[in-house]
Each structure stands twice: as structure tokens, then as C-alpha cells.
Chains A and B, each alone.
Chain A
Amino acid sequence: MTTREFGDIELRRVREHVWEIPQEGEMNAPARVLASEALLEHIGQDKTLEQLRNATHLPGITNHAICMPDGHQGYGFPVGGVGATDTTDGCISPGAVGYDINCGVRMMTTNLTYEDLQGKEAELVEALFDAIPSGLGGGGVVTGDAETIDDILARGMEWAVDAGYATEDDLAHCEDEGFRDDARPEFVSQKAKDRGRNQIGSLGSGNHFLEVQRVTDVYREDVAESFGLEADQIVVLIHCGSRGLGHQTCTDYLRRIEKEHADLLDELPDKELAAAPAGSELAEEYYGAMCAAINFAWVNRQLIMHRTREVFADVFDRDWREMDMRLLYDVAHNIAKKEVHTVDGDERELYVHRKGATRAFPAGRPELPPAYAEVGQPVIIPGSMGAGSYVLRGGDSSLDLTFGSTAHGAGRLMSRTKAKQEYWGETVQEELREQQKIYVKAQSGATVAEEAPGVYKDVDEVVRVSDELGIGDKVVRTFPVCNIKG
């Protein structure tokens, strides 16, 4: 048997790209890492494996705690982590969702080609940067009063349709059609609402960005056609989350769990795994609040997409509808959802926690919108601003291996502090423009340095593993043209 050791953790090779940390001691299940040898080498260098092993202590964890190929150290639960817990005798863990509830990615397609855009890159990146709020204190597309915030929390993208920021077609191409009806705005604190009111429609900073891209490679022509994607096409990728409202919601519930369920917390090896027992009042309230924050994040990305359409209309001097600017799909990658999965032959309802992992349902799952029911859902995997991104489709093996999940990005390799020592933002920007014709504009040079292409793992390798495991199949690859960030 092939084994690998990292510190006190031994992994056994189950088969190609599948490694297992056997169950022992207080663990409630084994843990699995889905990675090639090369990716496992990176994953073993920080605390990812320790955090993954800790995650197996969650009550009711089913099958395995799983680390995706892009996994890396987070807080509590690792980034790239998937953990399914029973909704009757398990738990729900805000720590296994993360602070940025429904941080996620959407892609908008156009009928423009790269040729149509060439020569306009500088104008477009400036116009997008001016129009789309980003960074700390950049405001939002909309400033909401109390009623607006509650309406957004309760109705998600349906609010955006009524307010003129979205179309019915946008709703039809969003996970859950842009609206979780389990949302309970009354369980979102006033503090969280206060933080959200001037951030509705804003990118934030960190690794969040908006990128105009061109499709460079098509791997599955038939699926690409179903997704409306073809070579040389211009698309727009938007990556951001629920902003201060979501961050505060997670913080509030972590503290409540600490006060109200100290006994359960004492059994867990890391306080950041904080979990509320399934069926408890707190679990129900957190689920309602989290679903409300999910709705907020969808509206956030929708408002940014709306502004992007307006900018394209200005720069290309035609109505955005003429450019066929459609939402391909919007996927969440920090979320917990009640889903039914087959476990040992039985159908069970589980809270599937995905923290830095993307739902990747294949054809046939009832949750899929009609547009993708026959082909499987689009999965959008952003790479760094100097590398490609990918569109995958949910793979047939995802239900058996990962509760219908795959990776969410390239995964970080280098700390932010080290990145700022290694890179200088302005130099990174110049090199990207001169060597790769990528136009980057950011609020601060430090952000560009922290997000330099060299701080990320090889997205091609992450996607290769996903494709070979059959959890998310390669459809197209894209390459950056313009990138704005906070």
C-alpha cells in the first residue's frame, strides 16, 4: 500500500487521486483528499490536513470529510473542504461554511469576439473600475434602507427583477434560481444589516475580482454548445460574496454557539468548527439567517453584472441585449445546504457544507434548472489573473465521491505577507499587460501583489484532477483580458 506522511498524519492511497486519513481516536469518520501527487505535496505543507482531520470530529459527519484538489489552510475547516452532516442527529457548522456566506462566482456570456474587444481593453478596464464599487469603503450600486435590505434577504434575485436590475432569464440561470425560500431575515442581526446597507453591489477586496475573458480552448463541443460557449468568445466572470452582512452573520452565530452550546464546542478540536446540533433552535435560526445571506450575495453579484452590462453598452455603443449578455450560471462556494444523497443505499437528508468548494451536480438532479437538466450544471473555476479559468460541468462521479462537489479555484500557495515581499504590484501589472495583454486595475498595488499569479497553485492541474476523477468535466478554458479588483 502506498502511503504518504506529513507530520503526524499518514495518508493511504485508495486509488489514483484519492488519499485517505483512516478513522482513529475521536474522529467520527475517515477523511479523504482528492489530489494528484503534485497537489498533495502542496496540501501537506500547511495545516490543511490537520484542519481536515479536525473536521471529521463534527457530529453526524457522513462517509468522509473531503478536501478538494485546490484545498489549502483556512480557519477551522480547510478551504476546499466538503462535509455532509445528518440533518436529524448531526449538526450545522457556521465555521464549515465560512465568514463569506455564498462567496461565489458567476459568468456572463456575450456575442462579442476577442477581435471586437482588441484596442478597447484600456478603455474598458477603466470604465469597469469607475462603475463598479470595490475595495474598502467603496459603497455599493444601491444603498438600501431597512425595508430594502429585508426584501433582498427574503427574496434574493426576485427583488432584483422587480427593481429593474435583473431579467427573468437571469433567474433561470442561477443556482436555486437566485432565491432560497428558507431565508429568514428576522434571524439576521441588526449589526449585520447595518454593515450590508451600503455594500449592496460591491466587489470588496482580497481575492475578489471582475474579469473580462476570452474563450481559448473548447474540450467538449456538445456541452459547450449547450452552455452557449464557443472559441474566441468574450465572457465576464464575477467573484465576490455577501460582504459585511454575511461576515457579521457568521460571527454572530459563532458567538451564540459558544455561549449556548459550549458542551458541543468542548468536544471539537478547534473552536472555529463551532456547530449547532441539528434540530436545535439555534441550528434552525442559523440556517434561516445563512439562507438570507445567500440571497444577499446573489443580489450583490447581480447588481455588479447589471453595471457591467451598462459599461459594455457605453464602451461598445449599443444596447447590452444586442450583445446577448446572458448569465451562464451563478455558483456558490461557501454554503451549507439541505440536500438528499444516497448513503449506503438509503436516501438521507444532509447538510452539505461546501467551504471553498463548488456544487457540481450531473444531469438528472432535480435541483438543476431546465436549461441544464439534460447536460449537468455549469461549474465555474476561476484561476489567477495571469492564468486561465475553466468552465466545467457537474461530473457523474461527483455524487459518489464528493456529495456532488468539485474544486472552486486554483487554491493559494503563498501567504499574503510573503507575496508582498516577493512581488511589487505595479511591476506585476506592467508584466501582465506587456507580456500577456492582460489589463489589470486595482484600488491598491498591494492587492495586485497579494493576488499575483505566482501565489496560486496550477489551476490546470486542479482541473485535470477534477476531470480525471469525473467530479467536474472540462468544457472550456478561458484567458483574462481585463481584470479589476479592490
Chain B
Amino acid sequence: MSFTLREHTADVAVEAAGDSLGDVFAAVADGLTAAMCDEVADTGDRFSLSVRAESREAALFDYLDELIYERDVRGVLPADHDATVRQEGDEWVVEASARGVPFDDVTARDVKAVTYSEMRLEESDAGWDAYVVFDV
């Protein structure tokens, strides 16, 4: 599970890979954290979240949107992401957790939102690849 921040004229893109859907979701989320903060402190407690959506891409979108929401209302930088993804009937379910680092412990920048722009979520020989652009 890995990610790289990719160039985008105005915003930030995250390219990520993982052995499973859950791994690649968490890798994109780690990329989101890196886009907001260069040095993440070791502090904070873990919290859980879950989302349900109608497709894999929508589940990835909603998961990242939920992390941004939790960041603003909890006042923490979500880090060290963990996620599992499963299909239930017509829906995709993400069960995830993150460590919420108090804002006072880090110097962080805002990422406004997740976007669908150029989004890729594809199965590869090694597992799953994803590409997501975030609005900064």
C-alpha cells in the first residue's frame, strides 16, 4: 500500500496502489493527509467511520468526503488510515478508522474537497490502483 502526490496546476492529485480495495482506499486517504501536513505528530485517538454507496468510485468519493467532514467537526487531522471495502447487494460498504491528530499538534493546510475529476479506480496485476484529485 503506497501513494504519491502528483502534479496538478491548481490542486493536488494522489496516485495510490494497494493489495485490496480497502488498502487502496486507505492509501489515497494517507495521500490526503500528506497533502495537508508535512510532519504528522504521533498524538491523537483513533475514530471509526463507515459509508455506503452505489458504486466503488462513489464509495471512495464518500469515504474521502467523510474524512474531510470528520476533520472539520472533530478538529483533528485524520492520519494512519485503515479501511475495508465489501459489497452488500447493490451497495459498497466502507468500514474505516483513522487516528485523529489534534490540530494544535500539527501545522496543517486545508484541502477543501474530494473531486471526481480524472478519478481512476482500477484493478491491476498487483491489486488496485487509484488516482484522485483534491480541491485545495
**Hey, which bits of chain A sit against chain B, CB under 8 A?**
46, 72-76, 79, 98-100, 135-137, 191, 194-195, 198-199, 204-206, 244, 247-248, 250-251, 254-255, 258-259, 270-272, 274, 412-418, 443-444, 446-447, 486
Contact = CB atoms under 8 A, between A and B. Distances in A.
B123 interface: no
Contacts of A412: 9-10
Given A75-B117, A195-B72, A99 B6 contact: no
B75 A205 contact: no
Pick from A75, A195, A204, A271 the residue with the most CB of B within 10 Å.
A75
B131 to A, nearest CB: 13
Contacts of A251: 65, 113-114
Contact of A443 (B10, B62, B73, B107): B107
B54 A136 contact: no
A135 B36 CA distance: 10
B73 A194 contact: yes
Contacts of A136: 36, 71, 77, 103, 108-110
A271 B135 contact: no
A74 B11 contact: yes
Contacts of A74: 10-11, 117
Contacts of B72: 194-195, 198-199, 244
A137 B11 CA distance: 20
Interface string B56-86: 0010011001001101110101000000000
A79 B133 CA distance: 15
Interface residues of B, number: 39
A135 B110 contact: yes
Given A136-B110, A137-B103, A251-B114, A195 B9 contact: no
Pick from A72, A76, A199, A274 the residue with the most CB of B within 10 Å.
A76
A48 to B, nearest CB: 8
Nearest to B38: A446
Interface string B84-121: 00000000000000000001100111101111111100
A271 B119 contact: yes
A76 B115 contact: yes
B125 interface: no
A75 B116 CA distance: 8
A136 B38 CA distance: 13
Contacts of A415: 7-9
B136 interface: yes
B12 interface: yes
Nearest to A199: B72
29 contacts: A72-B10, A74-B117, A75-B118, A75-B133, A79-B10, A98-B135, A100-B135, A135-B109, A135-B110, A136-B77, A136-B109, A198-B72, A205-B109, A206-B109, A206-B110, A244-B68, A244-B72, A251-B65, A271-B116, A272-B117, A412-B10, A414-B9, A415-B7, A415-B9, A416-B10, A444-B108, A446-B38, A446-B109, A447-B109
